[in-house]
Structure 1
């Protein structure tokens, strides 16, 4: 089992494919395996590193709170342990917040950056969403919690057209061999609500792509617009009619367009 010691924890990761390194950072409550449908496209061209963030999957799950700066240090330490001096980096949701801090703290280690459904600082609305998740986890069964989360991240149209998929996701959560304890999920929520890169993103100079669904009610479009405006030369890719899970419900388009971006910025 691939484990690296970094920043005081044991971090689990998986490697797939060959080529320039691509660090993949997943979002709140999820482990690196959730990248599977994207890695099927990426691994043909890149050495993909799928990370279980602190608190998730087979990585250590210490007591919180966590912060995105702390988790960026985890990632930087993993890169060092693997002998990776420079990599492309893509992060989804919480992973995008970690990626921002990584690019700011260790700019020399980042070749290109993809920020998916990101935010630079939670407003009152998004803070309350994270706080509701934090208070609910551990008080209901896994299936009920997953359904509540799905109502925020999938659009109404996806629910209407793909209910069987959503029900299957609910069911699979009950058989997760590496369940996330409530304290770890809550600590990741703390990392999300405390994240703040306002006024610093102009320091990022690497090629950057920002992706978002225009129907995202979790981390709404205005966050991505502001981030793309602040990072010099950043591209903004908006998926019309899609929400926080645009990378899944527009999978083929997302894989093609993000892969094109990565290939354009190979060394």
Structure 2
């Protein structure tokens, strides 16, 4: 299984497709394989690199706290190890703020950015939510923690759809029998990175093309966060989906996959 040494850790990654590289950075608690439904489309045009972030999956899980600077440097080292000088980058949630830092700390490595359900900073409500998530991780059974996460990321149309509902129930069953769930300390370390992230005064220095994309009904990273990021990155594009939440990329996949593919091909 492919690992590279980067920034003091062994980092796991997978590849899909060929062509110009696309670095895919997933969110809190989630391994790179969660990109599968999107990478299946992107891989027709790009060499997709799906990394397991520090603290999850088959990547090392050192003691925290982590920072988005640290995690961005993990990906810079991954690119170096793979001989990738410059790449398009897409990041989801925690992955999006890691991507911001990658563009700020290593601008020569980033051709363009897609920032999904992103933020420049957390407010009191956001910090309160992250604190509660950490408590849930420490005290809930894995399937109960998954239940809480589903309530954060999906909106009413998803719950009302029978197929989507059945997929959620399968997700709970899978969580209950996961042989290697993310350790509590690693989730807390990733959460620390999300909570301490603040690029509000730095986003003006992002020089590459950027698409900020999210859901208008996101309760985890509310729309004002996406709007603030887009307003502070020079020339950034912004698209927010109606009737969609934090998991808008699944809720609106029939539009999201072709929309992002077209944007990446242009940038």
SS of equivalent to 2:111: strand
Equivalences for residues 133-152 of structure 1 within 5 A = 133-152=133-152
Which residue of the partner structure matches residue 132 of structure 1?
132
Deviations 1:53-108 (A, max 9, x none): 00010000001001111000100011001110000000000000000000000111
Which residue of the partner structure matches residue 234 of structure 2?
232
Deviation at 1:166, TM superposition (A): 1.0
Which residue of the partner structure matches residue 58 of structure 1?
58
Q: Using the alignment, how far apart are the partners of 1:30 and 1:195 within structure 2?
A: 18
Deviations 1:202-240 (A, max 9, x none): 101111000010000100000111111111110001111
Aligned CA RMSD, in angstroms, stands at 0.9
Which residue of the partner structure matches residue 94 of structure 1?
94
Which residue of the partner structure matches residue 247 of structure 1?
249
Question: Does residue 35 of the first structure (1) align with residue 55 of the second (2)?
Answer: no
Which residue of the partner structure matches residue 183 of structure 2?
181
Deviations 1:11-70 (A, max 9, x none): 000011000000000000000000000000000100000000000100000010011110
SS of equivalent to 1:58: coil
The 8 Å contact of residues 201 and 227 in structure 1, kept in 2 or not, is answered as yes
Deviation at 1:251, TM superposition (A): 0.9
Unaligned runs of 5+ in 2: none
Q: Using the alignment, how far apart are the partners of 1:191 and 1:20 within structure 2?
A: 29
Deviations 1:177-207 (A, max 9, x none): 4421110001111011001101100101111
Q: Using the alignment, how far apart are the partners of 2:72 and 2:243 within structure 1?
A: 31
Q: Using the alignment, how far apart are the partners of 1:78 and 1:177 within structure 2?
A: 27
The count of residues paired between Structure 1 and Structure 2 equals 265
Deviates more, 1:227-236 or 1:153-162: 153-162
What TM-score do you get using the length of structure 2 for normalisation? 0.97
SS of equivalent to 2:62: coil
Q: Using the alignment, how far apart are the partners of 1:136 and 1:27 within structure 2?
A: 17
Which residue of the partner structure matches residue 168 of structure 1?
170
The 8 Å contact of residues 52 and 59 in structure 1, kept in 2 or not, is answered as yes
Runs of 4+ that moved beyond 4 A: none
The 8 Å contact of residues 121 and 198 in structure 1, kept in 2 or not, is answered as yes
Unaligned runs of 5+ in 1: none
Deviation at 1:110, TM superposition (A): 0.4
Q: Using the alignment, how far apart are the partners of 1:80 and 1:178 within structure 2?
A: 29
Deviations 1:94-140 (A, max 9, x none): 00000000000011100110000000000000111111011121311
Which residue of the partner structure matches residue 17 of structure 2?
17
The 8 Å contact of residues 142 and 181 in structure 2, kept in 1 or not, is answered as no
Equivalences for residues 56-135 of structure 1 within 5 A = 56-135=56-135
Deviation at 1:173, TM superposition (A): 1.7
The 8 Å contact of residues 113 and 209 in structure 1, kept in 2 or not, is answered as yes
What TM-score do you get using the length of structure 1 for normalisation? 0.97
The 8 Å contact of residues 58 and 178 in structure 1, kept in 2 or not, is answered as no
Q: Using the alignment, how far apart are the partners of 1:178 and 1:205 within structure 2?
A: 40
